[in-house]
């Protein structure tokens, strides 16, 4: 029982095939509450596909996903978001025509209560009615969430606050990544999946982002991180998982994984090591 | 027994004709991920060129076929070069709207040149029937089968063995990779549009000969049938399109055998809706594919809405409200009443197509549901007209949402196809459900507009009534957009995958958008019914759907004020310039094309 509570996310034999290609191949993974685990690996290793399987955007062909002890395999992304799983996207999926404020408010959607009463069948109609009538409780809820959004945006210093009413399409690439993370935080997630949060950022911005992720971890948030910048991975992770061609090829503390010959091979490329093997055979 | 063989042969022959259209659609979809709504118009052009060749130039049959193929191919090339190539780097909604606009322009040009009256198109073949087994087959059947099989073989050889054919297949598989390998994608597009148009044109010719009749209504039907066949076979899948077409031909033929001719189209559209719901990737789609890449914010043009100060809106509303107090002509009031009714429809469509991104092409069906409900409530149950109109709005909200709900899992072009088909289904049900709708006779003697027992007969009172209803609907919609629902709708439009990942249920919010929009459209239809006093299944047609779409694009997607401004402009300007009725749809089509090309965000910008 105690163990179940400390294990936030556990994957068993998770597998996803696309035609002849096995994008994710029998992955096992355990993530304890408050831990930060990083997944690294070359492009095409299956990291993002794994995220899609965990967050319900794609369904596995085999295997199981458990979240806080419950089987959540194949549940819809809406259900999982309501359950407290938030993610960011590798290529950035902000809502281009929505303001920064509205983007982050969408993150808080699953926490709307006053305007979204949990009434079966006529719930959606009530929601429409309440949205049009806007009684005091609904206005208060909206006001409270807006204040919360400002507090979340303040975590990014002066990057987003001055642009709060600007449409997201007008933001820089780095700022769009920040909006994504702010949107994920607005969900008040119990599990946060970050897909390359520093992609396309310069060293200063990367350091800033690293500081923010460290803060989130210090606050006790459970985080699964995909990242290419090893410096950041080594500094933040409790454990590192290395994927290549869909398979987990190494797992352990950062320093150990870093020296693993299989990991070096995956990063330097199979061609090189293949050639080395041929040479040694000759 | 023999008749079943006849129905089978008939189904296969008709299927062969559909295949000529569907293969072209599949080729185009393959290389440019675009459903060419203008395919049926090329088919129409082909039929009329064939008529000119046969009836006026007396060309022999082989020459007729060649003339039609070449002329149609030229039309296809022009569409590709001037209609679509300039939009290559624009948002995804742009080419969709462009082919809709092109289709209307072409149809209208044909109608203006040849008049809308049907014409006979003789087949030039001897009228004999051969006994085959228990059925019969004529030379025209053999010709259609021959043309179908020959084109399939030619296409196969082209795609398989010619360099350009390889380029087409490579582009279909991965456009970017093909470009990087030096494939000239423009040439590929040209080739594909040329081939698709040639096939479509010949198809129109053969169908005209088969029924010995051509008319301008053929176009929309052909587009729909071709799209049905293509989607059934799997979009972009050329052999799938052929099989889908034969299947569609058989389903229709057997359906007609059992239920009668007036149900022919119903089966086609039901087949489409069933396939879209159960197998949206077609019957022959391979196993589940990788989830689509992000298409963030690329469906509609990013833009900032033009902010109109509140006082300016108040002044404008007040000016229109007191207009009837001045000595204005009946004609001006009449025109503005039409604008207010269109305004309600545009409010509905701008919410559905603009705010939540479901480009509906069957929106007139919501008018029809509202109109019939209101008319029947007041006639059969003596419900007061004011309440009957509200009843029409509610029925349109409920029934419209229920009908459209199968398409909630679809995206982009598929939504447009599904809504187009659902619009046709509604019109066909109205036509065939005689016990309730009085079928083709229509409903006459609908009581005039009335409120609290007072008939609204004068133009002034009708003007005020429709103006106030529209303003109230607009205010409600503005309030909706300012709520959490407004941002939820817009989030779903911009990126439905990210929206789902944050807990937004697509079914729930698309339903709410259609419920609200359906109510506004239903009320508009209800008012129209009492205003016209007579309605039938053709009162609310696809032309109105397209007009509303043009209004919405003109005003700016999702823009409430824009919808009203657009309605006044598109109803009013043709009156100001005294443009004859038959040229108006042509002008709407051209306006749509120009907007998509030069101002995709519309006059007042996307909300």
**pLDDT digit string, tens, across residues A27-50:** 999 999 999 999 999 888 899 999
* B504: confidence class by pLDDT, cuts 50, 70, 90: very high
Q: What is the pLDDT of residue B181?
A: 86
Please give the Cα distance from B202 to B67 (Å, whole number).
Answer: 9
Task: Give the residue ranges of DSSP H helices in B353-384.
Answer: 364-380
Please, what is the average pLDDT of chain B?
88
pLDDT average, residue stretch A224-242:
92
CB burial readout B64-92, b (16+ within 10 A) else e: bbebbbebbbebbbebbeebbeebeeebb
Cα–Cα dist B589/B597, whole Å: 12
> CB-based contact (8 Å) between B307 and chain A?
no
Residues of B in contact with A124 (CB under 8 A): 508, 511-512
Are residue B266 and residue B363 in the same domain, yes or no? Answer: no
| pTM of structure | 0.89
Is pLDDT above 70 for B193?
Answer: yes
From residue B170, alpha-carbon distances to B176, B182, B185, B196 in Å are: 10, 11, 10, 18
pLDDT interval class at A1 (50, 70, 90): very low
**Mean pLDDT score across all residues of chain A:** 89
pLDDT number for residue B297: 45
Q: Higher-confidence residue: B277 or B347? A: B347
Q: Looking at the predicted structure, is the pLDDT value of residue A281 above 60?
A: no
Higher per-residue confidence, B566 vs B232: B566
Residues 6+ apart with CB under 8 A from B295: B92, B495
Question: Is residue B291 included in any domain, yes or no?
Answer: no
Would you say B381 and B395 are in contact if contact means Cβ atoms under 8 Å apart? Answer: no
Average pLDDT of the segment spanning B289-301: 51
Whether B293 shows a pLDDT value over 50: the answer reads no
Contact A87 B501 (CB under 8 A): yes
| In contact, A177 and A160? CB cutoff 8 Å | no
Helices B484-494 and A123-133 pack at an angle, to 10 degrees, of 120
Nearest-neighbour CA in chain A from B437: distance (Å): 29
pLDDT-derived band at A269, boundaries 50, 70, 90: low
- Tens of pLDDT along A118-171? 888 899 999 999 999 999 999 999 999 999 999 999 999 899 999 999 999 899
B interface test, pick of A79, A94, A95, A103 with most B CB neighbours within 10 Å: A95
Position B583 in a domain = no
**Chain A residues within 8 A of B293 when measuring between CB atoms:** 91
Nearest CB to A128 within list B494, B495, B512: B512
Given a cut of 70, is residue A226 above it in pLDDT?
A: yes
* Claim to verify: residue B353 and residue B265 sit in the same structural domain: no
Q: Name the residue in chain A with its Cα closest to that of B298.
A: A96
A53-101 pLDDT, tens digit per residue, is 999 999 999 999 999 999 999 999 999 999 999 999 987 889 989 999 9
- Say if residue B121 is in the same domain as residue B12: yes
Residue B241 located in a structural domain: yes
Q: Is the pLDDT of residue B597 over 60?
A: yes
The pLDDT assigned to B291 comes to 44
Secondary structure class of B535 (helix, strand, coil): strand
B516 inside domain = yes
**Which residues of chain A from 117 to 146 reach within 8 Å of chain B, CB to CB?**
124-125, 127-128, 131-132, 134, 142
**Res B286: pLDDT:** 54
Partner B contacted by A60 (CB < 8 A): no
**pLDDT at position B172, please?**
82
Return residues 191-220 of A near B (CB < 8 Å).
none
Out of A49, A55, A59, the one facing B501 most closely (by C-beta) is: A55
Would you call B336 exposed, middle or buried from its count of C-beta atoms within 10 A (0-12, 13-18, 19+)? buried
Contacts of A81 in chain B (CB under 8 A): 500-503
B55 and B201 together in one domain: yes
- Confirm or reject contact between B500 and chain A (CB < 8 A): yes
Place of tokens 């039929």: B47
- pLDDT band at B152, cuts 50/70/90? confident
Domain boundary pick from B506, B541, B576: B541
pLDDT, tens digit (0-9, with 9 covering 90-100), for B533-588: 999 988 998 888 888 999 999 999 999 999 999 999 999 988 888 777 778 888 88
Across the interface, of B289, B502, B606, the residue whose CB is closest to A97 is B606
Looking at residue A183, its pLDDT comes to: 97
Q: Which of residues 141-180 of A touch B (CB under 8 A)?
A: 142, 167-170
Distance CA A71, CA A58 (A): 16
CB contact under 8 A, B293 and A94: no
Query: How sure is the predictor about A260, in pLDDT bands with cuts at 50, 70 and 90?
Result: confident
Final residue in a domain of this structure, among B278, B297, B316: B278
Give the model's confidence band at B448: pLDDT under 50 very low, under 70 low, under 90 confident, else very high.
Answer: very high
Residues B222 and B361 in one domain: no
Residue A257 has pLDDT above 50, yes or no: yes
A62 touches chain B (CB under 8 A): no
* Contact at CB, B484 and A93, closer than 8 angstroms: no
Please indicate whether residue B208 or residue B126 has the higher confidence score (pLDDT).
Answer: B208
In a domain, B341, yes or no: yes
The whole domain housing B497 covers 331-541
Percent of chain B whose predicted confidence (pLDDT) is above 90: 47
In chain A, residues with a C-beta closer than 8 Å to the C-beta of B495 are 93-96
- Tokens in use for B93? 């909604």
- Which pLDDT score is estimated for A277? 46
Q: Which of B256, B278, B300 is the last residue of a domain?
A: B278
- B515 & B377 share domain: yes
Sheet holding A239-244, edge to edge: A85-87, A191-195, A222-226, A36-40, A239-244, A247-252
Is B569 inside any structural domain?
Answer: no
> pLDDT (tens digit, 9 = 90+) per residue, B242-272?
999 999 999 888 888 888 777 777 888 888 8
Residue of chain A whose alpha carbon sits nearest to that of B506: A78
Per-residue pLDDT at B104: 87
Across the interface, whether the CB atoms of A132 and B511 are under 8 A apart is answered no
Mean pLDDT of B152-181: 87
> Could you report how far apart the first and last alpha carbons of chain A are, in Å?
57
What is the model's pLDDT at position B298? 55
CA distance from start to end of chain B? 61
Q: Does A94 reach chain B within 8 Å, measured CB to CB?
A: yes
- DSSP lists the bridge partners of residue B570 as none
Cβ of B302 and A127 within 8 Å? no
pLDDT at A214 over 70: yes
Is the Cβ–Cβ distance between A38 and A74 less than 8 Å?
no
Query: Is the residue at B570 inside a domain?
Result: no
How many independent structural domains does chain B possess?
2
How far is it, in rounded angstroms, from Cα B77 to Cα B191? 8
**What is the DSSP secondary structure assignment for residue B85, as one 8-state letter?**
G
Inter-chain CB pairs, A–B, below 8 Å: 131
Residue B425 shares a structural domain with residue B497: yes
Q: Which of the pair, B406 or B561, is modelled with greater confidence?
A: B561
- Using DSSP's 3-state secondary structure scheme, residue B541 falls into coil
Closest residue in B to A82 (Cα) is B503
B268 & B342 share domain: no
3-state secondary structure chain A: CHHHHHEEEEEEEEEEEECCEEEEEEEEEEEECCCEEEEECCCCCCHHHHHHHHCCCCCCCEEEEEECCEECCCCCHHHHHHCCEEECCCCCCCCCCCEHHHHHHHHCHHHCCCCCCCCCCCHHHHHHHHHHHCCHHHHHHHHHHHHHHHHHHHCCCCCCHHHCCCEHHHCCHHHHHHHHHHHHHHCCCCEEEEECCCCCCCHHHHHHHHHHHHHHHHCCCEEEEECCCHHHHHHHCCEEEEEECCEEEEEECHHHHHHCHHHHHHHHCHHHHHHHHHHHHC
What is the pLDDT at residue A248?
92
Helix (H, G, I), strand (E, B) or coil at B90: coil
Give the alpha-carbon dihedral of B234, B235, B239, B240, to 10 degrees.
20
Please classify residue B454 by burial: count the beta carbons closer than 10 Å to its beta carbon, then call 0-12 exposed, 13-18 middle and 19+ buried: exposed
Q: Is the Cβ of B494 closer than 8 Å to some Cβ of chain A?
A: yes
% of chain B surpassing 70 pLDDT? 97
What the block records as the tokens of B72 is: 């149609």
Query: Could you tell me if B97 and B552 are in contact, meaning their C-beta atoms sit under 8 angstroms apart?
Result: no
Tell me the CATH number at B97.
1.10.3470
Inter-chain contact B504–A78, Cβ cutoff 8 Å? yes
My answer on whether B157 and B220 are in the same domain is: yes
pLDDT of the residue at B299: 66
Q: Which residues of A touch B485 (CB under 8 A)?
A: 127-128, 131
A-interface mutation test, from B288, B305, B477, B484, most A Cβ less than 10 A away = B484
| B134 — pLDDT class (breaks 50, 70, 90) | low
Between the alpha carbon of residue B250 and those of residues B12, B234, B468, the distances in Å are 6, 18, 51
pLDDT level of residue A265 (50, 70, 90 thresholds): confident
In a domain, B550, yes or no: no
Q: Are residues B89 and B177 in the same domain?
A: yes
Q: Using CB atoms, which residue from B494, B504, B516 is nearest to A98? A: B494
**Do residue B46 and residue B176 come from a single domain?**
yes
Give the strand pairing for A247-252 and A239-244: antiparallel
> Chain A, 10-29: which have a CB under 8 Å from a chain B CB?
18-19, 23
ipTM of the complex: 0.91
Backbone torsions φ then ψ of A65, nearest 5 degrees: -120, 125
Let me know whether B215 and B118 are in one domain. yes
Count of CA atoms in the C-beta half-sphere (13 A) of B480: 29
For an interface test with A, the pick among B298, B478, B498, B511 (most A C-beta atoms closer than 10 Å) comes out as B498
**CA neighbor of B392 nearest in space, from B296, B485, B525:** B525
For B185, other C-beta atoms within 10 Å of its C-beta total 18
């Amino acid at each position: 029982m105690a163990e179940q509570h400390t294990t936030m996310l556990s994957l068993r034999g998770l597998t996803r095939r696309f035609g002849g290609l096995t994008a994710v191949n029998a992955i096992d993974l355990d993530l304890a509450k408050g831990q930060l685990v990083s997944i690294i690996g070359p492009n095409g290793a299956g990291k993002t596909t794994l995220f899609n399987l965990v967050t319900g955007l794609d369904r596995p062909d085999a295997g199981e996903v458990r979240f806080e002890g419950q089987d959540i395999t194949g549940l819809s992304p809406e259900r999982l978001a309501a359950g407290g799983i938030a993610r960011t996207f590798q290529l950035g999926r902000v809502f281009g025509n929505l303001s920064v404020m509205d983007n982050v408010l969408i993150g808080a959607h699953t926490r709307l209560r006053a305007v979204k009463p949990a009434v079966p069948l006529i719930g959606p109609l009530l929601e429409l009615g309440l949205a049009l009538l806007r009684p005091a409780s609904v206005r208060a809820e909206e006001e409270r969430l807006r204040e919360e959004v400002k507090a979340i945006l303040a975590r990014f210093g002066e990057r987003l606050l001055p642009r709060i009413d600007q449409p997201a399409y007008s933001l820089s690439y780095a700022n769009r990544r920040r909006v994504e993370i702010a949107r994920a935080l607005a969900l008040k997630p119990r599990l946060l999946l970050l897909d390359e949060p520093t992609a396309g950022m310069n060293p200063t911005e990367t350091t800033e982002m690293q500081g923010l992720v460290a803060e989130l971890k210090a606050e006790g948030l459970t985080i699964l991180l995909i990242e290419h910048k090893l410096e950041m991975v080594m500094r933040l992770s409790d454990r590192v998982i290395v994927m290549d061609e869909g398979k987990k090829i190494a797992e352990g503390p950062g320093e150990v994984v870093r020296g693993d010959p299989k990991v070096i091979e995956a990063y330097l490329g199979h061609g090189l090591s293949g050639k080395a093997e041929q040479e040694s055979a000759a | 027994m023999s008749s079943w063989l006849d129905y089978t042969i008939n189904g296969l022959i008709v299927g062969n004709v559909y295949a000529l259209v569907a293969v072209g659609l599949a080729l185009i979809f393959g290389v440019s991920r675009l459903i060419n709504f203008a395919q049926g118009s090329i088919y129409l052009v082909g039929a009329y060129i064939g008529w000119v060749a046969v009836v006026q130039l007396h060309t022999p049959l082989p020459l007729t076929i060649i003339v039609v193929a070449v002329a149609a191919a030229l039309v296809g090339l022009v569409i590709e070069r001037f209609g679509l190539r300039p939009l290559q780097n624009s948002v995804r909604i742009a080419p969709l709207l462009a082919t809709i606009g092109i289709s209307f322009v072409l149809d209208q040009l044909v109608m203006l040149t040849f008049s809308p009256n049907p014409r006979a198109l003789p087949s030039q073949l001897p009228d004999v029937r051969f006994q085959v087994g228990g059925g019969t087959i004529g030379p025209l059947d053999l010709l259609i089968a021959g043309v179908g099989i020959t084109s399939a073989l030619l296409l196969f050889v082209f795609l398989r063995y010619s360099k350009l054919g390889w380029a087409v297949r490579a582009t279909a598989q991965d456009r970017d990779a093909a470009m990087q390998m030096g494939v000239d994608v423009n040439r590929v597009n040209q080739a594909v549009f040329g081939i698709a148009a040639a096939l479509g044109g010949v198809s129109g010719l053969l169908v005209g000969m088969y029924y010995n009749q051509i008319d301008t209504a053929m176009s929309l039907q052909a587009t729909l049938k071709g799209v049905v066949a293509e989607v059934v076979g799997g979009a972009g899948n050329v052999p799938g399109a052929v099989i889908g077409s034969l299947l569609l031909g058989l389903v229709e033929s057997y359906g007609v055998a059992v239920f009668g001719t007036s149900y022919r189209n119903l089966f086609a559209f039901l087949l489409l809706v069933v396939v879209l719901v159960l197998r949206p990737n077609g019957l022959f789609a391979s196993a589940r594919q990788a989830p689509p890449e992000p298409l963030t914010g690329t469906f509609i043009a990013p833009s900032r809405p033009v902010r109109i100060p509140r006082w300016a809106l108040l002044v404008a509303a007040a000016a229109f409200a007191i207009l009837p107090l001045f000595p204005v002509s009946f004609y001006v009031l009449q025109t503005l009443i039409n604008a207010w009714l269109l305004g309600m429809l545009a409010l509905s469509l701008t919410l559905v197509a603009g705010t939540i991104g479901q480009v509906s092409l069957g929106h007139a069906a919501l008018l029809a549901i509202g109109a019939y409900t209101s008319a029947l409530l007041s006639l059969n149950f003596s419900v007061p007209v004011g309440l009957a109109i509200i009843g029409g709005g509610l029925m349109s909200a409920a029934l419209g949402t229920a009908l459209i709900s199968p398409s909630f899992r679809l995206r982009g072009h598929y939504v447009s196809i599904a809504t187009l088909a659902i619009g046709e289904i509604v019109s066909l049900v109205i036509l065939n459900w005689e016990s309730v709708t009085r079928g083709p006779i229509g409903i006459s003697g609908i009581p005039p507009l009335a409120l609290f027992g007072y008939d609204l007969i004068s133009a002034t009172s009708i003007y005020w009534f429709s103006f106030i209803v529209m303003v109230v609907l607009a205010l409600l919609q503005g309030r909706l957009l300012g709520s959490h629902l407004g941002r939820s709708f817009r989030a779903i439009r911009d990126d439905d995958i990210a929206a789902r990942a944050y807990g937004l249920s697509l079914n729930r919010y698309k339903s709410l958008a259609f419920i609200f929009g359906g109510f506004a459209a239903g009320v508009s239809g209800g008012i129209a019914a009492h205003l016209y006093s007579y309605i039938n299944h053709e009162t609310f047609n696809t032309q109105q759907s397209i007009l509303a779409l043009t209004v919405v694009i003109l005003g700016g997607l999702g823009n409430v004020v824009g919808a009203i401004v657009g309605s006044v402009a598109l109803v009013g300007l043709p009156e100001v310039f005294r443009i004859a009725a038959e040229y108006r749809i042509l002008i709407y089509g051209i306006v749509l094309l120009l907007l998509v090309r030069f101002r995709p965000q519309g006059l007042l910008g996307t909300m």
